[in-house]
A and B are shown apart, each in its own frame.
Chain A
Amino acid sequence: MGAAALLSAAVLTSCGSASGLVSTEQVAERQPTGEPQSGGIIEYGHLQEPKCVYGGWIQENFTARQILDSLVSQDNDGEIVPWLATDWEVSEDQLVWTLDLREDVSFTDGTPVDAEAVAYNFDSWLDGGNGTAAAHLGGFYEDATAVNEHTVEIQLSAPFSPFLSTLSQSYFGIQSPTALENRSAEENCRAPIGSGPFTVQAWESGQYLEFARNEDYNSAPENAKHQGPAYVEGIRWSFIPDNTSRYGSLLSEESDAVGEIPAVNIAEAKERFDFEQYITPGRPVVINLNTEKGVFTDQQVRQALSFATDREANIESAFLGTVPFEPSGYLSQSTPAYDAEAASEYPFDLDRANELLDEAGWTERAEDGTRIKDGERLEVLFTYGLNTIVTPDGNTAIQNFQEQARAAGFDIQLRPLTPSENSSGAFSGPDAYDAQVGYWTSPHAGILNINYRPGTEEAPNGANTTFLVNEGVYETIQQALQAPTSEEVAEHFSDAQHQLSELAPAIGLYTQTNTIAVSDSLAGVWLEESQGSPVFHDAYFVTDESGADKSDAEESTEEEG
């Protein structure tokens, strides 16, 4: 793949294009020789601690990205580029994917990264080893077989167009089958064995994860900025839950980079540091309406609530303009096949909301202004995981929403849930809420299949949190997943968004974003494209400080998907 040419090009011009990466010009400015330094330990401050180093949660995805290689990667244009797989093809009926693997890669325990290993990983994900992997591929995956030492065949039961895009996520990082087989669940959870640029050296619960450089690393994805081992010797990945402390540790130079910049600090962070914002593709942060029980079984009532509030102004004020408003309840604006027209079908229109409610028979009003129909008040039980799904700023947005919806006659009762309540299942079924807040990251629009496939007795779909059962929508999504060309895929997904918009089972609020701020002393950090995980493999410390003029720092160009 022309590694030498790639290396120099990557170092000098950085990654370019539509990425959120802002450091491009500064890197060049600080590094007139273009020679990255080797050595040093990156101090990185992160908000949440994962349960395991790898797994099905986005926090686990961030850490897994440092130690596991995936089969393919996505570059900043969303193109699939080689990683552990150098080449791939799909059969005419789109049911068999054949992937050719690199022949010179080993896991850090010495096991070769071969076709057997890849097949083993597929089986273990789908066999309960990774709930998120199963949510993506379940219903499509049949089996994986090693055709020869470096060629693996994945057999599907139905065509699945976003297959490669799915595999580019760190949820699908390849692990050593020897380790999976012979070590305990705990050992694999805390220090999985991959072939990535770093290995887990230590994990002090509640404090930090220590990653050490994999000295033999030779398998960076094609869109990496250099091949070979990481420049730095390691990463100390600290968990700093307090916003003031985390951002403060960057100001005091105790951290070289920190994630999850608080909204109030973003303006300053853009001035003083290399600031990157990644708009997560997939389902944005939306209000899911229960279409199976309660007031929202009536489509007109759902549409009325969608029209009833000025969400754009709300999000602007709640997040101080730092997080984009997302009108779509189905896909975020950075997702391929996002349909802006379908997304904009519910602007703020209080008159229209009132009309719809009148038509739906909610004509009377109680003394407090709440609408009444057949003696029943238009009450909405609205649940959301506070500080897990929804940040404190998001909480403000939800309270604004509650207040604004009062004008149309909705009496919204907010019920913030503790982390344990939220994940316990007791607040998840059709009897548990009228409205609920959720998001789901995914690099492709196939997320609609996860969120809107109707659950059945044999195959319940817990991820369908609106409980919508609609044959038309389901079939359109299946057509998109099975379409042979990307144009057709986009066409069908666009159609599905229009149908969903008409049915109005969800209301868009804001996009999920990842942010990172990097000090001037560190260059080459980037956020990968599929999930926005920070990548430290290409990062290096800058010793020459003369070129670093903070006032000339380029402001962020936010990513457009």
Chain B
Amino acid sequence: MTLTPSTVLTEPLQATPAPPPSQSPRQRTRPALILSLLLRKLGAAAVVVWAAASLTFLMQALLPGDRATMLLNQQTGQVQERSAEELAPINEMFGFTDPLLVQYLSFLGGLLRGDLGVSYQLLQPVTTVIGDQIAPTVILTFSSLAVAWAVALVLLVLTARRVGWVSRLFSGFEAAAAALPQYWLGIILLVVFALGLGLFPVVGGEGLIGLVLPALTLGIPLAGFLGQTMRTEFERTLDEPFVLTARARGMSDTAVRIRHVLRHALLPGLTLTGWAIGSLFSGAVIAENVFSRPGLGGVLVDAVNGRDLPVVCGVVMLVALIYVIANLVVDTAYVLVDPRLKLTH
């Protein structure tokens, strides 16, 4: 089945997303370009992380209620007001009665020394708490991303601009997948594939087989997003003159799709991936909860529930950092994917 475009478009090449602004008309050497890019990104990263930490600190510290009371009540399962006597040792231990500014400065000072403080609830250093739980979340995040890309790419190459109804059907699938609530999807996968068919464990744990359903839970909706985003670009590129040229050279349809068209469609997908990594990190809590997986999501929820400020700040800063790094990587990937960026030197 060969494709016969009904119209010959003469759209200019700029139809693809605008390249990053770093591509100035002035010619720069490649190392200088990369160094300036890196410096700006690092500066931005520091600001983002500092802002995230400060906002979290203020919000957690200014919420109504007393932190020492809360810690004491959570240890005893009670909800009552506490006497000054009962609270004194806790206030002493964590410095809750110091002026807020002093607390904030000592918090910032700690950050500069790489000290994230000690969890109020777990009585462990925050770096230990995060360090213990980060690996499963990273593994889950990147597995989900891999699932999402694999599904999106396969569907895209196979179905875009095929017979009208095929393309529309799969485009519809993508829209539906993108709209699936993760919690609901997770429960359905759990009930069907783990409880019903017994193909996977109900309690995920850390093993590879236990990773499949959680990764699908997060990966399927993301595949929908990615597919939708790339499909538009993919289909437009199919109408480009160079596609016609390639076909005229006798290239097969699949080869044209993979070697020429896909490259264009990857760019919006890559952009979305920068956002998706951060989003997957915060979405991980759902999969972690449903499949009883270890990870940072559960740590964050517990910490927010217990207003465990050092842990909340630590996780928020980490997620901010991951956003920044992911976007840095995406920008670099742009240079690799879009050949026009290479032409600048």
Q: Which residue of B lies closest to A462 (CB)?
A: B80
Which segment of A48-56, A312-320, A329-337 sits at the interface? Answer: A48-56
**A465→B78 CA distance, assembly (Å):** 11
Task: Find A131's partner among B78, B121, B299 (CB 8 Å cutoff).
Answer: B78
Which segment of B12-20, B43-51, B270-278, B302-310 sits at the interface? Answer: B302-310
CB distance from A247 to the nearest CB of B (A): 9
CB distance from A387 to the nearest CB of B (A): 9
Q: Would A59 and B73 be within 8 Å (CB), given that A244-B190, A421-B64 are in contact?
A: no
Q: Would A244 and B191 be within 8 Å (CB), given that A56-B76, A204-B132, A460-B81 are in contact?
A: yes
Q: Is A255 an interface residue (CB 8 A)?
A: yes
Task: Find A420's partner among B63, B80, B124, B289 (CB 8 Å cutoff).
Answer: B63
CB distance from A231 to the nearest CB of B (A): 24
Q: Would A245 and B133 be within 8 Å (CB), given that A389-B79, A425-B73 are in contact?
A: no
CB distance from A134 to the nearest CB of B (A): 9
**A57–B295 contact, CB under 8 A?**
no
Task: Find B195's partner among A185, A251, A418, A463 (CB 8 Å cutoff).
Answer: A251
Which segment of A343-351, A426-434, A495-503 sits at the interface? Answer: A426-434
Contact flags B123-145 to A (C-beta < 8 A → 1, else 0): 11000010011000000000000
**A206–B80 contact, CB under 8 A?**
no
Q: Would A205 and B70 be within 8 Å (CB), given that A131-B86, A238-B203 are in contact?
A: no
User: Interface size for chain A: under 10, 10 to 19, 20 to 34, or 35 or more residues?
Assistant: 35 or more
Q: Which residue of A lies closest to B129 (CB)?
A: A205
What B residues does A131 contact at CB under 8 A?
72, 75-76, 78, 86
**A456→B174 CA distance, assembly (Å):** 65
CB distance from A415 to the nearest CB of B (A): 13
Q: Is A385 an interface residue (CB 8 A)?
A: yes
CB distance from B79 to the nearest CB of A (A): 5
What A residues does B191 contact at CB under 8 A?
244, 248
**A460–B83 contact, CB under 8 A?**
yes
Q: Is B114 an interface residue (CB 8 A)?
A: no
Contact flags A406-450 to B (C-beta < 8 A → 1, else 0): 000000000000111111111111000000101010000000000
**B202–A254 contact, CB under 8 A?**
yes
Q: Is A241 an interface residue (CB 8 A)?
A: yes
Q: Is B250 an interface residue (CB 8 A)?
A: no
Q: Would A426 and B64 be within 8 Å (CB), given that A238-B203, A238-B292, A245-B292 are in contact?
A: yes
What B residues does A429 contact at CB under 8 A?
81
**A186→B129 CA distance, assembly (Å):** 13
Task: Find B290's partner among A245, A251, A463 (CB 8 Å cutoff).
Answer: A245
CB distance from A328 to the nearest CB of B (A): 20
**A254–B203 contact, CB under 8 A?**
yes
Q: Is A189 an interface residue (CB 8 A)?
A: yes
Provide 6 A-B residue pairs closer than 8 Å at the C-beta atoms, listed in order of the A residue. Answer: A58-B77, A252-B202, A423-B73, A424-B67, A440-B78, A462-B82
